[in-house]
Structure 1
Amino acid sequence: MIVPQDGRLRLDRERLKQHRKRLGLSQEALAEHCFDRRLCVSIASIKRAESGKAVLYRTARHLAEIYDVEVEALSVDAEEVAAVSASDVEEMESARVLIQLHAVAADESALATWVQHFGGSLAEGGTALFGLPRAYRSDAQRGLLCAVTLVEQGVARGVYLQAGHWPTAASPLMVEERSGVWVERGVAVQLAERFVFDDEGGDWLRYRHPRHEAQEARFELVGRRLQLGQLQAILESTRAYQAGNLIYIRGVAGIGKTRLSAEFAEMAAAHADHHQAEVLDFGTRADEGPLMQLTRSLLQTSNEALNEALDDTINEGIGEAYLLARLSALRLPVDHAMLLRPLLGLAQPEDAQRLYAAMTPATRSQRLIQALRDILLARSIHRPQLLVVEDLHWADEALLGTLSGLLQETLEAPVIWLFTSRLEQDPLETRLRPQLPELPLTLIELPPLRPQEAEALVASFGTVPAEHAARCVSQAQGNPLFLTQLLLFHPHRSLPASLANLVQSKLDQLTDLDRRAMCIAAVMGQRFSLALLQEVLGQADYRPELPQRYSLVRPLEEGSYRFVHDLILQGIYEGIPKIQRDRLHLRLAELYGEAEPGLRARHLHRARSLEAPKAFLQAVAAEMARYRHEEALALLKQCWSIDYAPKDEYRLVLLQGQVAMATGRIQRRGSTSRRRVPTPGRSVTASPPTSG
């Protein structure tokens, strides 16, 4: 068996398929089976291996373990390896951005149990991974909750949480004497809205506690006066007419849906009871879902002692007495307890268990809606109720059915429902509106912040270096989440972990073909030609319909697209292994050829090709012939920056003088022209002459 220097090898596709079929598993089921065995094999890796493409040796070893064979039994013959082209541009398996948990002096058995509970997978050496076989936006939050639980339960003395490209990310230098939960800055920035950390300016922040609702919001709300006016009017209407309303806030990821809903909840606190629930994308049990969150909140009272009793009894699994007492206090039938116990994790009495088991699923669902409706109506007699359900785009059919039923049943009561959803996978038009045609609905679609609003948000952060602030405003393009993450993250060229995880979660929802297409498009640039993408991809009929649906790209005029945000492009681009990026840049340079000399030169430059200086000179000459002197100057500047290949300084100075003369800037170049002109044909790697 031959293992290349890059640690990849090709496996026999037919043998792999035979082994998988022997187990009776689809590719998706095999990935889940690997996940259950705590082996790091993604669906994309399985598809790559079975299509004859090179995979990491680690992937081959894990597949061999699943199939109970040696790696050699799965690998192709040496002759077949040699026959495969090394410049296969379809190799798009990028190193994945994962949340990685490292436990110090941990009990391995208990560690595995808790990691699995929070939806992670256990790797070697006390390391747990969140984001396999697919990345979710809740990976960082579940990783932190797992870390906190490990320390609280005494499973580990200290836990470190970081984000990085797996398996290449370096493990943190863990100190045995250091206890508690330590979170890498990039991850802490992502979680700062919900959790409190000690920040002493270093790369690692110590976790303290969850951020309570009563605490002041971390980031100032700017640029949403119109939307706040709408929300204030709905609150006043509900109080005046004692009738229900549905508010639906939607927008792209990070646009400020959660922040706006939190501001409204604070606004309504003096007039209404607030109940909060969140739909997570992965890793929650049925008794931890949004209905459970709403039920617990609805059963609470203004009596703090009773609420503490509720927390204690439910946590201990003996909250039966409290549940019955609350139903009695609300003057509701005791039979409702039978429907609420499963949500609260309480055991059914024997008689109730027999009756509950005899019900059909439809009957249970309808009875649950009636029980929750009665609690809501009983509470709304005294005060209006505000129920916020965030991230409805992750909701399943059962949850949407229950919420639809509750909306219909509380239409005539002072109950305000507020849902938030992303544009991608938004269920409003396809699954909610058909069931609620007569429901009064206020739809708020959040736009990006204006430049002056973004600058106001920057000002709320206190002292931020002007250059860093300007760069963040430009990069964020009006997205509040992107802006706050970039401001909190120390100035750095790479993308913060929170944004890299967002991009990874979007990519994982695509097909293998779409992922490869997005990687190629990211190398092409912010705006790309569909025809050229199809040629590099080798799929003449390809259309980026799925990436468009998930808000990665949007169409422009016929035959061209662009990424919806520069940071999404950057996240995809940084996730492509450098050797594959360079191959793609060289391939694109070849395709552009003499038709687009400027683009050809820039792609050669990105690949650090020795041909780049010559290509830049040709491109400058071509732009001058077209009287596009500003573009010629930009190309000259890029050529001067090359430090990896020799360049003809004589021709560069000559061309720079010609451009200056053509644009009337000859006086400004006076100091340059008086320099010692290099000998013709001399190639150097010097710095550019300074312009006066």
Structure 2
Amino acid sequence: MHTPVVGRHQEIARLRAAVLAAQSGAGRFVLVSGPAGIGKSWLADRAAELAAEANMPVARGNAVDDAGMPPLWPWRRAARTVPGLSAALDTVTEPGAAAERRFRMFTEVADALTAAATGPGLLLILEDLHWADPSSLALLGHVAAQTEHAGLLIVATAREPEGDNLLAVQPDWLRLPHAHFLSVPALSEPEVRYWLECHHLPAEYAPRVHARTDGNPLLVRLVIDSDPASSGDPLVEVPGFRRLVLTRLDHLSPEQIDILGTASVLGERIDVDLLVRVYESSRVESPENSSTDHVTAALDAATTAGIVRRFAEGATGFAHALIRDAVYADLAPSRRAALHRAAAVTLAEHRGAGLAGLIATHWRQASACAESSSCLYWSRVAARSARAAAAYAEAIRFGEWAIDAAGSAAQERTELLIDLARDEFAAGRIADSLAHCVRASDLAEQADRPDLLAEAGLVVHGVTTPSVMTQLDALCGRALQRLDPAGHADLIARVLAQRALSAADRGAGAEARRLSEQAMRAAEGSTDPDVALDVIHARHLSLATTEYLDERTVLAARAIEIAVDAEQPLAQLWGYVWTADAALQRGDLPAFDNALDHIELLADRRKLPLARWHLLRLRATRAALVGELDAAIEFDAAAHELAIGIGDYSLAGLHHAFRGMHAVIVGHVDRDAMNEAVAALAFAPKIPIAQLFSPMMRALAGDLDQARALFEPFRSLPDTLEVGPRWSGTVYSVGLVAELLDDADAADRVYRVLAGREHNYSADGTGALICVGSLARVRADNARVAGHLDAAVDLYHLGLTMDTAIGAHPFIALGHLGLARTHLRRGTRPSARVLVPSAERDTDLSAARAAAVRAAAGFRRLRMVHRLRQADDLLAEITAAARTADPLTAREREVHELVAAGATNREIAGRLVLSERTVETHVRHILAKLGVTNRTEIARRAADRPRSG
């Protein structure tokens, strides 16, 4: 029946404005929400009409209330009318890790829609998002964020209250400046009265109709359409909505009702051909004439009764999801199960694996969660399909169904648990994944399958939480005890590599090197590139310090070679990242830049977001190294934005660490930024290099007491920390905090453990977050604070030579600043305040001034204003020291030297052509200024003065 425009003028006006905005190139995202029956689809249809008036193309898709709905179903429905969208959605099947493939696909979809929206624009309608899968909702958020300046209008509909998936993403949508939220209200009583009057019904019904329907347009329409003239009070005759719907079936035959029941099992939209097949296969007796005729007649009758309708895009379906739900709920349980079974069989025969999720859903409904070989088979197929599409939430659900259907067979349940654990790990559900790995390992032992036991221990990786690493080590240890070297060499190599990575992560460097070496030997005969790359990765990480630089360089080249042959772009990426890091440690910037060129090629050709992130991160590192500090910040910001887009918050967290190290270089930290960074890194793994960040920032900000308290547990760390991954960075951090706090003892520990490493640069082999130039300068800073001043001078000169060779301008200036401080301290230390002119002291003060001047010039060129202030302050201090270093006048100094040489007053008078009385006066002044009592003490102290700094 005709539905008048009642109470929706404001919503239509806002949709019209959105159409006009999109047509002018300003994208809009409109979410139409409200309870079932409120008129969301009706408003979506009005939006389509408005777009048609503006000659704007329309694409539509919808989610369905069916657990078997394939991932991205609304988008794939919409792709039927958008050029290039299907190809973009298929990007997710290309190589790469899950997060990267998903991000690449999201970007391709946004680009395809932007292209389709050129000219008159494009209206994309996505309905019933309360049933949408997480991937569809995440894609919508990405597209909406990326198309603000495209002619794309997105109109989405969703019920309130929304599903869990929708609730999770809505906060992100709220932050979009071009997003508009239309929460559709119920009709008021006057609006219900107007509707009744439009259908020539008594206006006095309005209060009672409004009260019983709460102004829900669908319920109002059904009440109005229930022929109130046949009863004095239709609301008394129809006490509830379900009964109201089912009374519409009273005009249909039992066969037609059964056909509608069959249709309700298949979903809200009706595929007539599928309905015919399922209905025919579910019949005990074949009908006298064609099932198609029976189905067509039933749909015609249901359309007349207002139960079924034709949609704008030509599809047939239930007039509303609530109607379909009522019909489905009225089915007898046995009939419902039989129809689900018939649907599963029919879909498997005629549609195949492409609808595996839907088939699995029907089998699960048919078997009522009991053991079922068919449900098991199709759930596994559906899980594989979802996994290939990086739709891990769906893969997990189907994996759980498969386990339910598998029964008690130990081997099969083990395999299913491992698959489920892999999907959970990919989805970030680490605790669930590990729990299922433990269950799988127990079953693998029962089934005497050491290979499956090993697979269970290999699922979770790269997690540094101590409790997780302990369980993983236990799983891998159990596997190694049972694996046969003759038949399981590859698995042994992978398990050893896993244990080596775990050892490296917890700081057991020697154990990591031992295990990784065993893994390399175990993999020597392997032809599997994955095995080779796994053991190379473990070996490389275990050798992430300068003394193993040559071996790591060989490993990086080998990884690249294997990855190219095996067409594994991610492994190829790691090879080039390792190559870049090794080049930094050697100070070979041309080799570093060459590695970056290869990473850029990977990012461009393979469209790998992770490669793009590493490229930006390494460009930020290089820019900071050579003094392009503004560019370094820009590269880091771009990397941070990309990490957020990928959804990898471990990558995003490195942004704060980079900004902290940038603050260390420039000598200043913004307090707001510091507090934000410290708060963000509080969620980082509890490893020393992360925990040292807080005292480092506090000390840099001048909060010295708080910094000392936070630093106390780490002061002796250099003496106990094993050489391994993060060793260099951790030791450097200890030394840096020690310098900021003037902690001589902690600085001395760092100075000693860095002995022999001063000819390399500061990258640590695990992927340089930032390079602070030569290790010689780093060691010199700690030597100066520890009081090893002569050694510090030599180290600063070595560091200046190294940093100058690679153009590390900030660190050249910092080296001059440190050298100036060292010469000043050496020239003014108590042992240098001697009674005779000190050439060494004068040389030190002169050298201090020269170095400070060069530091100031360097900081000025780099616009490092806070460091420039430090250099200027140091110059003033050097000037003051020079003035107070010698209290004697020039003539008094001449007299002092002759007294020290043992000359008498008469001899001095004759030598200097002075009167003896004048000499006597000078001697008296000298004794007073130097605080000594007689001439003999002058001579003695002059003879005792040191001859070197």
Normalised by the length of structure 1, the TM-score is 0.31
Higher relative contact order (CA 8 A, sep 6+): 1
Normalised by the length of structure 2, the TM-score is 0.23
- Flag the structure with higher helix content: 2
Instruction: From the CA coordinates, give the structure whose radius of gyration is larger.
Output: 2
